[in-house]
Structure 1
Amino acid sequence: MTIPLTSRAREIQARVRAFVDAELIPWEVHAEMHEGLVPEHVWTRMKEKAREAGLDNMDMPAAMGGRGYTMLEQAVAQEQTGRVTNALGWCANNPLRWMLEACSPEQIDRWIKPLMTGQRHECYAITEAGAGSDVDAIQATARREGEHYILNGEKWHVTSANLADYMFFQAKIEGGPNDGSHALFFVDHGTPGVEIVRTPAYTHNYRAHHPIYRFADVRVPASHRIGAEGDGMGFTYAWFRHERLMIAARCCGSAERLIEEATAFARSRIVFGQPLAEQQAVQFMLADSVTELFAARLMTYETARAIDAGADVKTAHAQCSMAKLYASEMAGRVADRAVQIFGGRGYMRENVAERFFRELRVDRIWEGASEIQRIIIANGLLKRGAESLVG
């Protein structure tokens, strides 16, 4: 069965898939063996080809110079980038539409437009040692002093900070009428008081690192605050909804690639005089994998369609959690089966199944762990009923 898509979505799908297959997948093993890096001229070409494939500024309106993709079209494109390991698919700038709603015209000119053109790069400083999925538990503070704020705190897992030149810093307001509420701030790298603590080694090999940063009496103008005091969590939730759905899409792409590779290997590998694919135990693993992929893709696409149709934001929040929960756990199961089908080869870093087995594990953690997604879904069910979530 072919899932119905518009002709434009099909064209985006085919264009991005061709780019991933031709420009990114051939460099996976090299990146794996070189700490996530490819030669600089290759990385430059990847970024140029990504723009040609339409992977940049997907969520930005055409009036701003963006692609103006629907949420479904973005999911279709992100699904294809999920087919490559070592985060090579992270080669295009993709600021989100909420930034236009949240930022002042001056902020858009200073930080967002250069992000769209690739002149600037951002990262998110939200997570802390004691506050991961529970964002409200952050201890970072922002204290108003005249026309400035004084920022303090320590942020963990600041993804892509080594490639960025500014951060979105989330803190709780300290003092004043909005004491304890959340706010977001632009903080440029190099601002006095911003100090890198260390860069931990992670399971995957990505060009983008996840350092720990300390903010000690960092002084920023009030004009660096995004929106009003108290708006910070709303903006973060908007980012979470989008990224959770895109994680689901990328997990579908990863699962599809794994199924393709494992199936091809099972057909060619001869065991006890016949192809491995003739073994019923292997057939069952492949059948379970493709069935779960079908379900995850349907859930992801339908959630995106509903958002495009103007779904209630609270319903969409729960459905994005449902898609991320199911797709990320599905992809993990598919990767585990693929390693098993490849056998000893599946334990080699040069094998796609081994890389995805490591890399997909974090999708059940970042942007809200699976357990947090279940809490969000259950809250939505209890408040609005099953019909609001599944129709």
Structure 2
Amino acid sequence: MTFSLPPEAAQWRDKVRQFVDSELQPFELEAEMHEGRIPEAARKAHEKTCIAMGVTRMDVPKERGGLALPILTQTAIVEQFGRVTNALGWCYGEAQGWMFEAFNEEQVARIVMPVTRGEIHLCYAITEENAGSDPGAIATEARRKGDSYFISGEKWHVTSHNLASHMIVQAKLGGGEHEGEHCLFVCRADAPGVSIARSPAYTHNYNHHHPVLRFDNVEVPLHDRIGAEGDGMGFTHSWFRRERLMIAARCCGAMARLIEEASEFAKMRVVSGQPIADYQMIQAMLADSVLDLHAARLLTYEAAAEHDRGCDLKSLHARCSIAKLFASEAAFRVADRAVQIFGGRGYMRENVAERFLREVRVDRIWEGTSEIQRLIIARSLLKRGLEGTIGPN
């Protein structure tokens, strides 16, 4: 098959790229120097533009008023948001397709659809100190008493909690028929009993904080349980598949931006009477970066296309891991080369390569480390064979 984007996807790609390059990128340096913050009016304008474009409804079923865009098209969209640093591309809420399977009708109307209008902002409280890449090892517990659950435990790296109105919380059930099984809940970010243990500083400068949260007997009504008791891990796997694919897409966007910026600089930077782009060592770094981007994009688009073709979920799980693993590691290599090409300028925070070098490093960690992705791929190979993992040749 060809990986030339279909016309609709190309149109979306171009429209979103124009928005990212002209509206978001000009705020990068201001955000970098102000702990990720930009003027509130600008932040709201960016969100409003995304809502108007339909970005918040790209994965919403048409019968719900959404666009239900092919996953390949959505991947091309998210790739463009990867072209900007300082999490400025995180300027829109996302109602994901799995939510319309997990949430009941009342919850879709009360929680999910308001996300598409910017009325509700979600964050995810899943990771724990001793349960990162293995969410099955979480210790946070939810015990049912009457028509409520009471959640106790501690969650780490709760990204965007400072900007969220609601959280999706994963906990193990304590007592009852499904004791020890996983369940998802939605609760307010400021619910009684939720407290910030600490909010660590991270390598990047994002306005999206990642605090450690404590849940002290937090009451969640029965109507805020997502799906049935014991369904939590299935929904989490759906979320992981999408997140891993979209991390790969954003890494492709970052690589494209880095290659463009580094190659333009190399053409202008003169050393010993000639542009450094004329030097073969610089050319080699640019060539290796193009190779990394092209391979990562092909893997990412292929995984997205498999979504649209209705690929077996277990095989799809492996393909998303392949895309995330390669793209995240490639993005760091490209960022490192770009810093080298820029030289001393590349070590300045005002330089896009310096920011990306810090920011793409986490893509090899969150939503499953590179080591976890390798395990997923290897286990798929051993269980389903080569064709069951990457398809027939």
Report if aligned partners of 2:123, 2:164 keep a CA contact under 8 Å in 1.
Answer: yes
- The answer as to whether partners of 1:16 and 1:54 remain within 8 angstroms in 2 is no
Distance 2:142 2:49 in 1: 41
Q: Give the number of aligned pairs.
A: 390
Deviation at 1:57, TM superposition (A): 2.1
| Distance in 2 (alpha carbons) for counterparts of 1:117 and 1:143 | 33
Given the alignment of the two structures, is residue 283 of structure 1 paired with residue 283 of structure 2, yes or no? Answer: yes
Matched with 1:65 is 65
**Alignment deviations for residues 137-191 of structure 1 (CA, whole Å, 9 cap, x no partner):** 1100011112211110000100011111111110111112211110001111332
* Distance (Å, rounded) in 1 between the aligned partners of 2:100 and 2:381: 31
Match runs of 1:365-384 below 5 Å:
365-384=365-384
What residue is the counterpart of 2:330 in the other structure? Answer: 330
Give the whole-Å Cα distance in 2 for the aligned partners of 1:290 and 1:219: 52
Aligned to 2:261: 261
Give 1:67 shift.
Answer: 2.3
How far does the alpha carbon of each residue in 1:284-326 deviate from its partner, in whole angstroms, 9 at most, with x for none? Answer: 0000000111011001001101110100000000000000000
1:272 aligns with 2:272: yes
Task: Report the Cα distance in structure 2 between the residues aligned to 1:306 and 1:192, rounded to whole angstroms.
Answer: 43
Structure 1 counterpart of 2:103, which letter? C
Equivalent position of 2:163 in the other structure: 163
Query: 1:329 and 1:72 mapped to 2: Cα distance?
Result: 22
For 1:367 and 1:191, the matched residues in 2 are separated by 25
Whether 1:340 and 2:340 are equivalent positions in the alignment is: yes
Q: In the alignment, which residue of structure 1 is the partner of 2:225?
A: 225
**Partner-residue secondary structure (3-state), 1:218:** strand
Aligned residues of 1:277 and 1:283 also touching (Cα < 8 A): yes
Residue in 1 that maps onto 2:48: 48
Check whether the contact 1:321–1:377 (CA below 8 A) recurs between aligned residues. Answer: yes
User: Residue 6 of structure 1 corresponds to which residue in structure 2?
Assistant: 6
**1:62 CA drift (Å):** 2.3
Compute the displacement of 1:45 (Å).
Answer: 1.6
Corresponding letter in the other structure for 1:17: R
1:3 CA displacement: 3.9
What letter matches 1:286 in structure 2? L
Q: Which amino acid aligns with 1:358?
A: R
The letter of the residue matching 1:323 is: A
Quickly say closer, same or farther: Cα 1:144–1:52, change in 2 above 3 A.
Answer: closer
Counterparts of 2:255 and 2:99 in 1: how far apart (Å)? Answer: 31
Would the aligned equivalents of 1:185 and 1:225 in 2 still touch at CA under 8 Å? yes
Query: Does the aligned pair in 2 maintain the 1:303–1:316 contact within 8 Å?
Result: yes
* Alignment correspondent of 2:193: 193
Tell me if the contact between 1:12 and 1:54 (Cα under 8 Å) persists in the aligned partners: no
CA distance in 2, matches of 1:212, 1:47: 26
Letter in 1 for 2:44: T
Cα distance in 1, alignment partners of residues 3 and 285 from structure 2: 23
Unmatched 5+ residue regions in structure 1? Answer: none
How far apart in 2 are the matches of 1:272 and 1:239?
Answer: 52
User: In the alignment, which residue of structure 2 is the partner of 1:26?
Assistant: 26
Secondary structure of 2:337's aligned partner: helix
State how far apart, in whole Å, the 2-side matches of 1:94 and 1:244 are.
15
Q: Which runs of 4+ in 1 moved over 6 A?
A: none
Query: 5 Å matches for 1:67-82?
Result: 67-82=67-82
The separation in 2 between residues aligned to 1:28 and 1:50, in whole angstroms, is 18
2 CA distance for matches of 1:309 and 1:382? Answer: 24
In structure 2, the gaps of 5 or more residues are none
User: By how many angstroms is 1:54 displaced?
Assistant: 3.4
For 1:293-312, what aligned pairs fall within 5 Å after superposition? Answer: 293-312=293-312
**Residue identity in the other structure for 2:290:** V
Kept in 2: contact 1:199–1:209 (CA 8 A): yes
SS in 2 for 1:158: coil
Alpha-carbon distance change, 40 to 67 in structure 1, aligned in 2, over 3 angstroms: same
1:304 match: secondary structure: helix
1:190, 1:332 → 2: CA distance? 36
Distance (Å, rounded) in 2 between the aligned partners of 1:116 and 1:195: 27
**Contact preservation (8 Å) 1:19, 1:53:** no
CA distance in 2, matches of 1:341, 1:302: 31
> 1:319 is matched with which residue?
319
Code of the aligned partner of 1:299: L
Deviation at 1:364, TM superposition (A): 0.4
* Map 1:60-209 → 2, pairs under 5 A: 60-209=60-209
Residue 328 of structure 1 deviates from its aligned partner by 0.3
Residue identity (%): 58
CA-to-aligned-CA distance 1:49-83 (integer Å, 9 cap, x gap): 22344322211122212221110011000000000
Secondary structure of the structure 2 residue equivalent to 1:242: helix
SS in structure 1 opposite 2:56? coil
State the TM-score, normalizing by the size of structure 1. Answer: 0.98
Residues 9-36 of structure 1: CA distance to partner in whole angstroms, max 9, x if unpaired?
0100110011011100111111101111
SS, match of residue 357 in structure 1: helix
SS of 1:321's partner is: helix
Partners of 2:60 and 2:105 in 1: CA distance: 15
CA distance in 1, matches of 2:379, 2:322: 12
Query: In the aligned structure 2, how far is the partner of 1:385 from the partner of 1:369?
Result: 23
Confirm or deny that 1:238 pairs with 2:212.
Answer: no
Q: Is the 8 A contact 2:122 2:167 kept in 1?
A: yes
Contact (CA 8 Å) 1:19, 1:50: kept in 2 or not? no
Q: Secondary structure at the residue paired with 2:339?
A: helix
Name the SS for the 2:152 alignment partner.
strand
Instruction: State whether residues 24 and 84 of structure 1, in contact with CA within 8 Å, keep that contact through their aligned partners in structure 2.
Output: yes
Q: Deviations over 1:199-235 (max 9, x none)?
A: 1111111111111110011112122111111100000
Following the alignment from structure 1 to structure 2, what is the Cα–Cα distance between the partners of residues 80 and 380?
A: 30
What amino acid is aligned across from residue 54 of structure 2 in structure 1? G
- Structure 2 residue 211 is the aligned partner of structure 1 residue 211: yes
